[in-house]
């Protein structure tokens, strides 16, 4: 479908799915805020335990979840996950009404959410390619990134309002409604052709390992996952960890720190929105590397900003612009390069790489900030990002990889429209 301006529009099926996905993301943001708020009443250690109860099973089961998504079909796994999350949220709402919010209930809820996420996230991550094919992936994923950023910004505020009005139970009920909306969206886009699935002869664990082997054998996927690890470990902690520490070190008020964080979010929305409107670069690997380089320069500028909030806000804006440019090009590159039978497994591997790198570097950078100060930690992040970006620019397969509009032979997805070429083999590029 092409609009009046000549720019191809995203299919209706994708827009329906994206609306449901962003709605459920808002519900998750509200519930996570409410769980954290309720856990904080039991003390800092209890709050950390509740967060760990979500992260631990999700990380441990991601590869298994990706294997099942490819074996059973992503849409089927998502429908089961939506039903499960509705049951979890409604059960939490009922239990809060009866017994309040004891720590055991919060931990049990976190464990259930983490298990569902492990199966849901890889399937959800593969849906854009299943619904739009490879040629529109940059626009589709950039639109999802823009929407997710806006939803995340609104989720905390809405969560605070719901908790103030009705407590944890109100937040849980709201989350159940958003997942019911997502379930309706999935039912509305029932595919007319069979979804390609991985063979079911081998075990699930073997299928999970096969996804790792596919990524390792493909030089583009291998480099993209390494770059993802560097970005997750050195870029994501800049705003979530180092900006609050920097604000306290430099005597800023909480509102000032919030404006710096908002500048970074604005940068992401601007760059991702531009890609969603205009489409991705012809060489997505090159664009992703340049985006990471811009983010590294922004992190360095933030370290050198001194006590000026204006300078810090400008540096944070630069970090966001680079972050948005990086994600808007690397994510479609990974998804388009995956074989049709390994889409969920590659998404699970990407999420696992991000989680592992973030878990490690949050502790490394936090320790460095405590010992040498947040400015030194920001400098270390900037150095890691810069070196990773330069290495990516020097990597010929990643730098020279061309997007589908350049005729590189990538396969169009056959779920909601006919496949014009045979599937790629599991051997990689």
Three-state secondary structure of the chain: CECCCCCECCCHHHHHHHHHHHHHHHHHHHHHHHHHHHHHCCCHHHHHHHHHHHHHHHHHHHHHHHHHHHHHCHHHHHHHHHHHHHHHHHHHHHHHHHHCCCHHHHHHHHHHHHHHHHHHHHHHHHHHHHHHCCCCHHHHHHHHHHHHHHHHHHHHHHHHHHHHHHHHHHHHHHHHHHHHHHHHHHHHCCCCCCCCCCCCCCCHHHHHHHHHHHHHHCHHHHHHHHHHHHHHHHCHHHHHHHHHHHHHHCCCCHHHHHHHHHHHHHHHHHHHHHHHHHCCCCCHHHHHHHHHHHHHHHHHHHHCCCCCHHHHHHHHHHHHHHHHHHHHHHHHHHHHHCCHHHHHHHHHHHHHHHHHHHHHHHHHHHHHHHHHCHHHHHHHHHHHHHHHHHHHHHCHHHHHCCCHHHCCCCCCCCCCCCCCCCCCCCCCC
pLDDT value of residue 193: 46
Q: For a pLDDT cut of 70, what percent of the chain falls above it?
A: 88
How much is the pLDDT for 407?
Answer: 37
**More confidently predicted of 248 and 179:** 179
Does 308 have pLDDT greater than 80?
yes
Specify whether 173 is located in the same domain as 218: no
Average pLDDT over the chain, rounded to an integer: 84
**How does residue 342 score in pLDDT terms, banded at 50, 70 and 90?**
confident
Structure confidence at residue 429 (pLDDT): 28
Residue 395 lies in a domain: yes
281 and 400 both lie in a single domain? yes
Q: Which distant-in-sequence residues (6+ apart) come within 8 Å of 420 by Cβ?
A: 412
46 vs 288, more confident: 288
> Is residue 164 domain-shared with residue 224, that is, in the same domain?
no
pLDDT digit string (tens) for 64-91?
999 998 888 899 999 999 999 999 999 9
Tokens representing 200 are 């079911």
Q: What is the pLDDT of residue 181?
A: 95
| CA separation for the pair 177, 128 (Å, rounded) | 23
Residues 221 and 332 occupy one common structural domain: yes
Phi, psi of 8 (to 5 degrees): -65, 135
Domain of residue 91, CATH code: 1.20.1250.20
Do both 157 and 43 map to the same domain? yes
pLDDT: is 3 or 312 the higher one?
312
185 with 265, same domain: the answer is no
Please give the tally of structural domains in the chain: 2
- Measure the CA–CA gap between 66 and 69, rounded to whole angstroms: 5
So what's the pLDDT on residue 191?
55
Longest Cα separation, the chain: 61
Q: Are residues 263 and 393 in the same domain?
A: yes
Question: So what's the pLDDT on residue 422?
Answer: 29
For residue range 4-60, list pLDDT tens digits in order.
444 467 889 999 999 999 999 999 989 988 888 888 788 867 877 888 888 889 888
pLDDT for 182: 95
Cβ distance 112 to 199 under 8 Å?
A: no
Instruction: Taking residues 215-236, report their average pLDDT.
Output: 90
Residues 71 and 164 grouped into a single domain: yes
pLDDT higher than threshold 80 for residue 351: yes
In a domain, 224, yes or no: yes
Binned at pLDDT 50, 70 and 90, residue 161 comes out as confident
Q: Which domain holds residue 174?
A: 8-135+152-189
Identify whether 319 is part of a domain: yes
Q: Is 216 in the same domain as 181? A: no
Say if residue 284's pLDDT is above 80.
yes
Percent of the residues in the chain that have a pLDDT greater than 90, as a whole number: 39
Q: Residue 75 domain-assigned?
A: yes
pLDDT for the residue 199: 57
Same domain for 172 and 243, yes or no, is: no
Confidence of residue 404 (pLDDT cuts 50, 70, 90): low
Q: Between 134 and 414, whose confidence is greater? A: 134
| Residues 241 and 349 both lie in one domain | yes
- Note the pLDDT of residue 401: 79
Which pLDDT band, with edges at 50, 70 and 90, does 197 fall under?
low
From CA 123, how far away is CA 120, in angstroms rounded?
A: 5
Per-residue pLDDT of 165-184, as tens digits, reads 899 999 999 999 999 999 99
Total Cβ atoms within 10 A of residue 165: 9
Is position 2 within any domain?
no
Look at residue 417 and tell me if it is in a domain.
Answer: no
Residue 192 has pLDDT above 80, yes or no: no
Per-residue confidence (pLDDT) for residue 5, from 0 to 100: 42
pLDDT, tens digit (0-9, with 9 covering 90-100), for 104-141: 999 999 999 999 999 999 999 999 888 887 778 888 88
φ and ψ at residue 2, rounded to 5 degrees: -120, 135
Whether 422 maps to a domain, the answer reads: no
Whether residue 141 lies inside any domain: the answer is: no
Residues 51 and 95 in one domain: yes
């Amino acid at each position: 479908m092409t609009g009046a301006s000549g720019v191809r529009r995203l299919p209706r099926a994708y827009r329906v799915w994206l609306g449901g996905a962003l709605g459920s993301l808002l519900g998750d943001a509200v519930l996570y805020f409410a769980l954290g708020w309720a856990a904080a009443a039991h003390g800092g250690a209890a709050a950390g335990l509740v967060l760990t109860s979500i992260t631990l099973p999700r990380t441990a089961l991601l590869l298994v979840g990706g294997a099942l998504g490819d074996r059973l079909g992503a849409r089927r796994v998502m429908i089961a996950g939506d039903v499960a999350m509705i049951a979890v949220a409604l059960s939490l709402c009922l239990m809060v009404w009866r017994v309040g919010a004891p720590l055991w209930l919060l931990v049990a809820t976190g464990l259930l959410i983490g298990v569902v996420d492990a199966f849901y996230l890889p399937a959800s991550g593969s849906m854009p390619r299943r619904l739009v094919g490879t040629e529109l992936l940059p626009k589709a994923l950039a639109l999802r990134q823009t929407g997710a950023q806006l939803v995340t910004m609104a989720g905390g505020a809405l969560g605070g309002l719901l908790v103030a009005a009705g407590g944890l139970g109100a937040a849980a009920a709201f989350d159940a409604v958003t997942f019911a909306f997502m379930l309706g969206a999935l039912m509305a886009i029932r595919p007319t052709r069979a979804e390609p699935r991985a063979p079911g002869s081998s075990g699930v664990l073997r299928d999970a390992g096969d996804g790792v082997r596919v990524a390792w054998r493909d030089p583009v996927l291998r480099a993209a996952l390494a770059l993802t690890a560097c970005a997750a470990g050195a870029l994501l902690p800049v705003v979530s960890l180092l900006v609050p520490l920097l604000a306290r070190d430099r005597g800023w008020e909480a509102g000032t720190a919030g404006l710096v964080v908002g500048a970074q979010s604005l940068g992401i929305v601007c760059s991702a929105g531009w890609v969603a409107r205009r489409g991705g670069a012809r060489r997505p690997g090159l664009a992703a590397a340049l985006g990471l380089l811009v983010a590294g320069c922004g992190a360095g500028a933030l370290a050198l900003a001194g006590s000026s909030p204006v300078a810090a806000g400008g540096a944070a804006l630069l970090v966001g612009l680079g972050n948005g440019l990086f994600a808007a090009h690397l994510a479609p590159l990974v998804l388009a390069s995956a074989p049709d039978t390994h889409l969920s497994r590659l998404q699970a591997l990407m999420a696992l790489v991000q989680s592992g790198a973030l878990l490690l570097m949050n502790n490394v950078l936090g320790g460095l900030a405590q010992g040498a100060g947040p400015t030194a930690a920001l400098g270390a992040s900037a150095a890691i990002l810069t070196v990773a970006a330069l290495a990516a620019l020097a990597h010929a397969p990643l730098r020279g990889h061309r997007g589908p509009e350049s005729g590189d032979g990538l396969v169009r997805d056959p779920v909601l429209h006919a496949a014009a070429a045979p599937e790629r083999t599991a051997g990689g590029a």
